[in-house]
Amino acid sequence: MKLGSLRWKLTASHLLLVVFSLALAAAYLVPALVQLQTEMYERAVLSQARMAARMLEGSQAGGLTLSQLDAAANRLAWRPEVYVGVKDADGQAPATSRWAQAGPVPPEVTAALHGAPSPVDIRYDPVLGETRLFAAAPLVSNGRVTGVVQISVPHVWVQAVLNRVWTALGTALLLGAAAAWLLGAWRARALSAPVQELAFTAGRISAGDLASRATVASRDEIGNLAAAFNRMADQLSQKLDALTEERTKIEAIISSMSDAVVATDGAGRLLLLNGAARDLLGLRPDDAGRPAADALGDHAVWRALDHTARRGTDAAEEFTLGSGARERLFHLNATPLRAAGGRNAGAVAVVRDVTEFRRAERLRRDLTANVSHELRTPLTSIKGFTETLLAGAAADEQACRRFLTIIDAEATRLMTLVDDLMALSRLESRAEPMELGPVRLDALVEEAASRLRPQAAQHHIALRASAAGTLVVTADADRILQVFTNLIDNAIKFTPEGGAVEVTLREDGADAVVSVTDSGRGIPPDDLPRIFDRFYRVERSRSREAGGSGLGLAIAKHIVDAHGGRIMVTSRPGAGSTFSVALPLAREATSAPAN
Ligand X SMILES: Nc1ncnc2c1ncn2[C@@H]1O[C@H](COP(=O)(O)OP(=O)(O)OP(=O)(O)O)[C@@H](O)[C@H]1O
Q: From CA 256, how far away is CA 276, in angstroms rounded?
A: 8
Residue 423 beta carbon to Mg ion: minimum distance, rounded to whole angstroms? 13
For ligand X, the closer of residues 214 and 582 by Cβ is 582
Nearest to 40 by CA among 150, 162, 166, 164: 162
With CB under 5 to 8 Å by kind, the binding choice for 494 among Mg ion, ligand X, none is: ligand X
Nearest to 560 by CA among 471, 486, 467: 486
For ligand X, the closer of residues 86 and 555 by Cβ is 555
For ligand X, the closer of residues 112 and 463 by Cβ is 463
- Return left, alpha or beta for 277; rule: phi > 0 is left, psi -120 to 50 is alpha, else beta: alpha
Question: Binding of ligand X at residue 499 (CB under 6 A)?
Answer: no
Amino acid identity for residue 235 in this structure:
Q
For Mg ion, the closer of residues 490 and 517 by Cβ is 490
Distance, CA of 69 to chain centre = 109
Which residues 541-570 are close enough to bind Mg ion by CB under 5 A? 548, 552
Which residues 532-561 are close enough to bind ligand X by CB under 6 A? 536-538, 543, 548-554
Question: Binding of ligand X at residue 485 (CB under 6 A)?
Answer: no
Q: Are 302 and 296 in contact (CB under 8 A)?
A: yes
**Regarding beta strands 144-154 and 83-88, do their DSSP bridges make them parallel or antiparallel, or are they unpaired?**
antiparallel
End-to-end CA distance of the chain: 101
Question: Binding of ligand X at residue 330 (CB under 6 A)?
Answer: no
- Please select the residue that binds ligand X; options are 274, 490, 519, 580, rule is CB under 6 A: 490
Q: Are 489 and 503 in contact (CB under 8 A)?
A: no
Q: Are 332 and 318 in contact (CB under 8 A)?
A: yes
For ligand X, the closer of residues 113 and 538 by Cβ is 538
With CB under 5 to 8 Å by kind, the binding choice for 292 among Mg ion, ligand X, none is: none
- Please select the residue that binds ligand X; options are 531, 581, 583, 586, rule is CB under 6 A: 531
Number of helical H runs and strand E runs in the chain? 14, 16
For Mg ion, the closer of residues 118 and 486 by Cβ is 486
Question: Binding of ligand X at residue 448 (CB under 6 A)?
Answer: no
Residue 288 beta carbon to ligand X: minimum distance, rounded to whole angstroms? 47
For ligand X, the closer of residues 502 and 518 by Cβ is 518
Q: Give Cα separations from 489 to 440, 449, 481, 494, 543 (angstroms).
A: 21, 9, 12, 9, 12
Q: From CA 36, how far away is CA 213, in angstroms rounded?
A: 64
Share of the chain residues as helix, strand and coil, in percent rounded to the nearest 5: 55, 20, 25
- One-letter-per-residue 3-state SS of 509-528: CCEEEEEEEECCCCCCCCCH
Residues contacting 274, CB < 8 A, separation 6+: 254, 255, 257, 260, 261
- Please select the residue that binds ligand X; options are 259, 287, 502, 518, rule is CB under 6 A: 518
Residue 516 beta carbon to ligand X: minimum distance, rounded to whole angstroms? 7
Q: How many CA atoms lie within 13 A of 280 on its CB side?
A: 28
Q: Are 349 and 331 in contact (CB under 8 A)?
A: no
With CB under 5 to 8 Å by kind, the binding choice for 537 among ligand X, Mg ion, none is: ligand X
With CB under 5 to 8 Å by kind, the binding choice for 407 among Mg ion, ligand X, none is: none
Residue 429 beta carbon to ligand X: minimum distance, rounded to whole angstroms? 20
Question: Binding of ligand X at residue 455 (CB under 6 A)?
Answer: no
For Mg ion, the closer of residues 440 and 557 by Cβ is 557
Residue 511 beta carbon to ligand X: minimum distance, rounded to whole angstroms? 21
Region of 230-238, 252-260, 371-379, 489-497 interacting with ligand X (CB under 6 A): 489-497
Residue 381 beta carbon to ligand X: minimum distance, rounded to whole angstroms? 17
Nearest to 121 by CA among 169, 153, 88, 75: 153
Residue 482 beta carbon to Mg ion: minimum distance, rounded to whole angstroms? 11
Query: Burial, 438: exposed, middle or buried (Cβ in 10 Å; 0-12, 13-18, 19+)?
Result: middle
Q: Are 179 and 97 in contact (CB under 8 A)?
A: no
Contact track, Mg ion, 489-528, x by CB under 5 A: -x--------------------------------------
For Mg ion, how many residues bind (rule: CB under 5 A)?
4
| Phi, psi at 509, each rounded to 5° | 65, -120
For ligand X, the closer of residues 317 and 527 by Cβ is 527
Contact track, ligand X, 382-421, x by CB under 6 A: --------------------------------------x-
Which residues 461-490 are close enough to bind Mg ion by CB under 5 A? 486, 490
**What ranges in 115-155 are assigned the alpha helix state H?**
none
Question: Binding of ligand X at residue 567 (CB under 6 A)?
Answer: no
Residue 473 beta carbon to Mg ion: minimum distance, rounded to whole angstroms? 22
Q: How many CA atoms lie within 13 A of 503 on its CB side?
A: 30
Binding site for ligand X (CB under 6 A): 420, 486, 490-491, 494, 518, 520-521, 523, 531, 536-538, 543, 548-554, 577
Binding site for Mg ion (CB under 5 A): 486, 490, 548, 552
